[in-house]
Amino acid sequence: MSDSPQAAELREAMNRVRLEVGKAVVGQDGAVTGLLIALLSRGHVLLEGVPGVAKTLLVRSFSRAIGLDTTRIQFTPDLMPGDVTGSLVYDARSGSFEFRAGPVFTNVLLADEINRTPPKTQAALLEAMEERQVSADGTSRALPDPFLVAATQNPVEHEGTYSLPEAQLDRFLLKLVVDAPARDDEIAVLRRHADGFSPRALDGLQAVVDAEAIRAAQRAAAAVAVSDDVLGYVVDLARATRNAPSVQLGASPRAATALLATAKTWAWLGGYPAITPDHVQTMLVPTWRHRLRLRPEAEIEGVSADAVLASVVQQTRVPV
């Protein structure tokens, strides 16, 4: 099955986003692809990594390449929920309260170091991420479309951080681990800086798509076909996580629908008319690694969610 010229052009435009971000960010191709998959799947991304591995630069460069409105919130211990969503403000001229929109009213929200603010403020994003609206004074206000939350966090063992509540974690479609680049990539980063590259200016980056193209790509990705056998495979994987000895809480039905969405988008980006077990396996770890709760004894032994999921894939029958 071949693409129509319009579909092929749309897919090529989305792939150009990755190339454009690569002009500013070196050695993070997987994270760039993850951001694109989340955007086209109408989901959100949690980026985890130690300070200094370009998490913030990655999101800023991605926002520039897709040409959408972007707002950055630096999460701090004293940040209040209203600082995120907005609040009612008294207008002395009219003698009434008016809603002043917060920074969440944007296309791409960069929630920087989200785990440095207490759970009450973290939870302020829940409705926005899930319902794509903000409620205040009995009125629901829709957020712009497209809408993507890209949150960064440092690993919880770093001082001054708070673990994200499980309900908050479940709202993130993907959790991407941003590691230090390979040696050659790190040399390329230093060369760029030696030649005058400024991560603040992002000189040379241009928007290669627009909001209408993104919405069209979202519709196309959602329309990718899926067979009953592959649906059964996703369910079998989810059930296997619930029976894994190291797991206290396995993948939920919502986790299964999330995996289906990301596998569809990955298949569409590759030009496939239907998803295959390979697409499911590729997206399994980033879609589910933050949704599993391991048993305390497994954590003490150093077992990771990634390792559990790799074992689940090996032990689950793959449909032909």
Looking at the fold, whether 85 and 189 belong to one and the same domain comes out as yes
Average pLDDT rounded to a whole number, residues 219-247: 97
204 or 187, greater pLDDT: 187
Contact (CB, 8 A) for 143 and 109: no
For the packed helices 29-40 and 211-222, what is the interaxial angle rounded to 10 degrees?
Answer: 80
Tell me the C-alpha distance between 123 and 186, whole Å: 36
Does residue 146 have a cis bond before it (omega within 30 degrees)?
yes
Terminal Cα-to-Cα distance of the chain (whole angstroms): 20
Looking at the fold, whether 170 and 101 belong to one and the same domain comes out as yes
Residue 32: give the domain boundaries.
Answer: 1-221
Whole-number average pLDDT of the chain: 90
Please give the DSSP secondary-structure letter assigned to residue 182: P
pLDDT band at 160, cuts 50/70/90? low
Number of C-beta neighbours around residue 200 at 10 A? 7
Looking at the fold, whether 25 and 168 belong to one and the same domain comes out as yes
264 or 127, greater pLDDT: 264
Looking at the fold, whether 101 and 205 belong to one and the same domain comes out as yes
pLDDT band at 154, cuts 50/70/90? confident
Which segments within 148-262 are labelled E, that is strand?
148-153, 174-177, 247-249
Looking at the fold, whether 255 and 129 belong to one and the same domain comes out as no
Among the three residues 175, 196, 221, which one is the final residue of a domain in this structure?
221
Q: Is the pLDDT of residue 4 over 80?
A: no
Looking at the fold, whether 78 and 19 belong to one and the same domain comes out as yes
Q: At 288, which amino acid appears? A: W
Place of tokens 């649906």: 231
Looking at the fold, whether 267 and 123 belong to one and the same domain comes out as no
- For residue 152, the model assigns a pLDDT of 92
Q: Is the pLDDT of residue 45 over 90?
A: yes
Looking at the fold, whether 228 and 79 belong to one and the same domain comes out as no
Looking at the fold, whether 164 and 261 belong to one and the same domain comes out as no
Indicate if the alpha-carbon torsion angle 284, 290, 292, 295 is positive or negative. Answer: positive
Kindly compute the dihedral angle of the four CA atoms of residues 55, 59, 61, 67, in this order, to the nearest 10 degrees: 180
Domain count within the chain: 2
pLDDT band at 124, cuts 50/70/90? confident
Looking at the fold, whether 270 and 215 belong to one and the same domain comes out as no
pLDDT band at 159, cuts 50/70/90? low
Contact (CB, 8 A) for 46 and 178: no
Among the three residues 192, 221, 250, which one is the final residue of a domain in this structure?
221
Tell me the C-alpha distance between 261 and 263, whole Å: 5
Looking at the fold, whether 299 and 287 belong to one and the same domain comes out as yes
Q: Residue 301: which CATH number?
A: 1.10.8.80
pLDDT band at 115, cuts 50/70/90? confident
pTM tops 0.85: yes
The predicted-structure confidence for 50-84, as pLDDT tens digits, reads as follows: 888 889 899 999 999 999 999 999 999 999 988 99
Tokens of 211: 């909001």
Place of tokens 């040379």: 204
Q: At 293, which amino acid appears? A: R
Looking at the fold, whether 289 and 208 belong to one and the same domain comes out as no
Tell me the C-alpha distance between 199 and 135, whole Å: 36
Computed on alpha carbons and rounded to an integer, the radius of gyration of the chain in Å comes to 20
Among the three residues 221, 246, 275, which one is the final residue of a domain in this structure?
221
What counts of helices (H) and strands (E) characterise the chain?
14, 11
Q: Residue 190: which CATH number?
A: 3.40.50.300
